[in-house]
Structure 1
Amino acid sequence: MEIPFTSTREARPNQAAGRYRTLWRWHFYAGLFVMPWLMVLAVTGTIYVFQPQIEPWLYHDRMVVAASEMPRLPQQTLMERAAASLPRGATISSVEVNRDPARSAEFIFRLPSGERESVYVNPYSGAVLGTLSVEHRLMKQVRQLHRAMMLGKPGELLMELAGCWTLVMLVTGIALWWPRGNATWVSALVPRLSLRGRPLLRNLHGVAGLWLAAGGLAFVLTGLPWSGSWGKQFKAIATRAGMGYPAGAWGEAPVRSRVPLTMDDLPIAQTPWAVGDTTVPNSKMPPHAMQDMAGMMNMPAMSGTQKAAASRSSDEHAGHGGGPKGPKGLTIAQLNAQGALPVDAVIEIAAREGVRSDYSLVVPSRPDGVYTVSYFPADPRDERTLHIDQYSGKVLRDIDYDAYGSVAQAISYGTSLHMGRYFGAVNQWLCALISMGLFAMAATGAAMWWIRRPSRSLGAPARMPMRVPMRGWIVSLVALGVVFPLMGATMLAVWALDRMWVRWATKSLRQATQ
């Protein structure tokens, strides 16, 4: 938050003024770097929190259907219809389970080209409504801009740095605008709309910054655990300390399905396994599967012609699939031939375990892989990850919120709040208000800098002609640099460049006056 520019000659040469000027310089450098990236983060974040409303409106012809009292077709049949609409060789990645009667069925496939495609099917008629590229749909693009500016790993590091420097900008801004002397809290918290021009911008910038500081800090701190460099290391350390996510909550499944020897080795029973309105001979079911499937006679079976195959997980939970990740999965025909359960059976198992809708069912990608149910609702306390044997239907691993470590629980709460999901529409609008408030701060800061910037000069606040002891500030910066090493390196670079610039400017001034 910028304070009126005052030349060195006008500043009182005392320690208070020196500390103030030092904080101002750091605030200036942090703001100068953060401004463009903060604007991008604010706009993309605001758009992304409204994803649940934007996507059904934008892709209404594919995502929305007329609610009906007709029975829904089996998911296996719908998946087969979806696969038939894609090029030969497309493999199934996940089934997006949503029981809303007005929503279409969604299946995510990996195409031979390597890209992923969502296929939408009317759950009542089985008609294919259309497709959407997972990588190129609007919200994926917005998400990539928000996380990495669509620049890959360098972009992730850049946005991580922007988040870290936002911390410096916010903390120094609070210190600069904090009431001191004869100033009151009323003057700090209430805008003076009687002002005009740059003084009005400065006042609005400072007042808004004080109001938005808590929200801005919360955004940064809840977003950093998902950053490309620091976040990954932070979660790894938390996991090693027993405070992170348990194995299988995020990442490769730590369990495997029990693979039958061969289909020819399985006994042929007299009575077929009844599934929905079709039957599958018991010779196709492993012995342990027939035992575990007792009492589950109403589950729909896989259809006769199956074109899809298992690959990797959905966009949001790409690490949840069972088994090592390979370039190809198992086709549904292969899954059926070796006795794997149809997806309808797995969906029924998940429902029995309390997970009924709004989750991703990741299909196994190899013979010993597992079905993975990835359920991440608005309330983190209800999060579940189920790993299910693809042959017997046995739940091999059930990971819920109570299995998380303390750090993982905090991250889950922070993520839900950060994405505007925890307390519904109010959370969405609060996130949007904070985001666009930060955008306005960045815009007013840029405008003030441009207005007062001397020609052919950076316009940084002048240094005090005296050194001021600021042990607390130095210790804080060192601690911040240790916690965030990438930021620590850039802080050293800024400090060194600033000293070099001051020496060069001082030398040039002396030569000019001689």
Structure 2
Amino acid sequence: MTDLRAPERAPDPTPRPSRPSRPSRPDGAGRRRPSGGGLFRAVWRWHFFASFVVVPVLLVLAVTGLIYLFRFELEPLLHPDLMKAEPTATQQIAQPYSAQLAAVQSAYPDATVVSLAEPREDGRSTVFSVELPDGEGRDVFVDPFAVEVLGSMDPDTTLSGTAVRLHADLMAGRVGDAVMELGACWAIVMAVTGYYLFLRGRRARRRRARRRLARSGRPGARLRARHGVVGAVVGVGLLTLLVSGLPWTGFWGAKVQQIATSQGSSLWSTDHGAVSDPVSTLDESLPHSHVQEAPWAQHKSEVPRSEVPEDGAKGVSVANVDTAVAVAEREGLRRPFTVALPSTDDGVFSVIGYAFDAPSDEQTVHVDRYGGGVVDTYGYDEYPALAKVVAQGIGLHEGRSLGLWSFWGAALMCLGIIASCVTGPLMWWRRRPRGRSSIGAPRGRMPLRSTPALLVGIVALGVLLPFFGLSLLVALLLDQLVLRRVPALAGWFDRPDRG
């Protein structure tokens, strides 16, 4: 058989002239620029720029969320004169709620009492939520033993109330709500890209980890490794918190609720009569499925009403708040109760059972204010399917669905998010370019033409999260219309194809 291989050549003894070395430039212009392609660098670039929007928002959400988690431990320490009440030597038994209600009405004759919340545990005061003539809401605290009004405060001005308001919309109304929703949408993108970077760079980290740490123990390598590990652990919890919080947003949540309502469903409880927007931010008894305007408030379903007796009717027993509590206990609701008081002649007492640690236990009994009978009941089993999902998601979001496991899990998630928000910018600060007019962003271009699936995924995410899609379009337009035509800005933002 003929050998088709070419004969081996003898090595040429003549040395080849060496190429002259290029002079180094102080501004780094002579360095080899990284390729503009590559999914890894492109994902890293978007992860980097997303942090400018995400980090401030996540810091606010994590810190305020941590305060919210511990509000029932913090507030009694900050306001012991209002929230604590002990039996006295002469009075060991709590007095009827009707007597306590009368004390509140006597102390605030011009106010409308909206609801009362039973003491959560021994040694606590009863909380009455009232609305003043100017529309301001206040919590009035009553010693249940001495039937004495201890004082009142605006729940929005407490540490926990301020945290709740910052957590919702930065106390800036629709603008603040839009900023928080924008940050939450990009945080979802940042979490997904972070997982890609963590998994994609795993092999490289394994090869370099020992060499780097053994060579010089560089703090940058350690910091990057810790950031990646913390992010990998926190990422799943972060995505859960973000997705479960979207129903509260002013744009995404409102639009999805509108679509759900048009299909005969709802993200929230459609209870016919329960309060939909409680005055107090500190009432842990209320099921949080009532935070949005329900269909009954939009006159799309009938509200339970009491049977108003005719004038001069004989033998009609007029029920009171204690009657409503007794009826709810007979119906099997969990205590402590929250009781929404009737605001009209034909209104009802709406007794809401304690379901803070179990959304599936949410139950409301509506009691006739005259005869004391049950007008209607509504609970978790009657929720629309979407509302059941949202209720469970809110329970996880607030760290209350699985007892101490979800509580401490949510607390650790908040601490992990804070750590990620601190270590990320710190990594950039340590590796930032010095002596150059550049922000030091990774340089990579998304290979959308060669990866159709990636393009489809980005478009789908932009449709599902409109704030992400719109802001992405704005960023791309700025890149093409501004950065591309201004070399100084292109250099500052490390545009992949600049120059």
The one of 439, 446, 450 aligned to 2:425? 446
Tell me whether 1:92 sits opposite 2:113 in the alignment: yes
| 1:125 counterpart residue number | 146
| 2:53 counterpart residue number | 33
Alpha-carbon contact 1:72-1:123 (below 8 Å) kept: yes
Residue 12 of structure 1 deviates from its aligned partner by: 5.3
Provide the secondary structure at the position in 1 that maps to 2:156.
coil
Distance 1:192 1:53 in 2: 43
Provide the secondary structure at the position in 2 that maps to 1:32.
helix
Provide the secondary structure at the position in 2 that maps to 1:55.
helix
Distance 1:424 1:186 in 2: 42
| 1:329 counterpart residue number | none
Distance 1:409 1:396 in 2: 24
Distance 2:310 2:213 in 1: 80
Alpha-carbon contact 2:87-2:145 (below 8 Å) kept: no
Tell me whether 1:398 sits opposite 2:377 in the alignment: yes
Check 1:386–1:508 CA distance in 2 against 1; reply closer, same or farther (3 A cut).
closer
Q: After the TM superposition, which residues 345-494 of structure 1 pair with which residues of structure 2 at under 5 Å, given as runs?
A: 345-375=323-353, 376-454=355-433, 456-464=437-445, 469-494=450-475
Q: After the TM superposition, which residues 169-248 of structure 1 pair with which residues of structure 2 at under 5 Å, given as runs?
A: 169-179=190-200, 182-183=203-204, 195-244=217-266, 245-248=268-271
Check 1:187–1:121 CA distance in 2 against 1; reply closer, same or farther (3 A cut).
farther
| Residue identity in the other structure for 2:485 | W
Distance 1:136 1:29 in 2: 35
Tell me whether 1:499 sits opposite 2:477 in the alignment: no
Distance 1:405 1:110 in 2: 31
Residue 179 of structure 1 deviates from its aligned partner by: 4.0
Tell me whether 1:20 sits opposite 2:62 in the alignment: no
The one of 296, 301, 304 aligned to 1:256? 304
Q: Deviations over 1:232-277 (max 9, x none)?
A: 322343344455345226334642324426433x13xxxxxxxxxx
Q: Deviations over 1:337-388 (max 9, x none)?
A: xx5x211111111111112423321112222322222333211111112233
Tell me whether 1:153 sits opposite 2:174 in the alignment: yes
| 2:32 counterpart residue number | 9
Residue 493 of structure 1 deviates from its aligned partner by: 0.8
Structure 2: which 5+ runs fail to align? 1-29, 275-289, 492-497
Q: After the TM superposition, which residues 232-381 of structure 1 pair with which residues of structure 2 at under 5 Å, given as runs?
A: 232-244=254-266, 245-248=268-271, 250=290, 251=294, 252=296, 254-260=302-308, 262-264=310-312, 266-267=313-314, 282=315, 285=316, 290=317, 339=318, 341-375=319-353, 376-381=355-360
Residue 172 of structure 1 deviates from its aligned partner by: 0.7
Tell me whether 1:60 sits opposite 2:80 in the alignment: yes
What is the TM-score with the length of structure 2 in the denominator? Answer: 0.78
Distance 1:361 1:8 in 2: 72
Check 1:184–1:25 CA distance in 2 against 1; reply closer, same or farther (3 A cut).
closer
Distance 2:68 2:489 in 1: 49
Distance 1:93 1:160 in 2: 31
| 2:12 counterpart residue number | none
Give RMSD over aligned pairs.
3.1
Q: Deviations over 1:109-129 (max 9, x none)?
A: 111222111111111111222
| Residue identity in the other structure for 2:56 | P
| 1:293 counterpart residue number | none
Distance 1:496 1:509 in 2: 14
Distance 2:446 2:60 in 1: 37
Check 1:82–1:399 CA distance in 2 against 1; reply closer, same or farther (3 A cut).
same
How many percent of aligned residue pairs carry the same amino acid? 34
Q: Which has the larger radius of gyration?
A: 2
Alpha-carbon contact 2:42-2:443 (below 8 Å) kept: no
| 1:317 counterpart residue number | none
Instruction: Identify the structure with bigger relative contact order (alpha carbons < 8 Å, sequence gap 6+).
Output: 1
Alpha-carbon contact 1:18-1:468 (below 8 Å) kept: no
Alpha-carbon contact 1:239-1:246 (below 8 Å) kept: no
| 1:83 counterpart residue number | 105
| Residue identity in the other structure for 2:232 | L
Alpha-carbon contact 1:98-1:105 (below 8 Å) kept: yes
| Residue identity in the other structure for 1:471 | P
Provide the secondary structure at the position in 2 that maps to 1:178.
helix
What is the TM-score with the length of structure 1 in the denominator? Answer: 0.76
Provide the secondary structure at the position in 2 that maps to 1:101.
coil
Alpha-carbon contact 2:400-2:407 (below 8 Å) kept: yes
Provide the secondary structure at the position in 2 that maps to 1:263.
coil
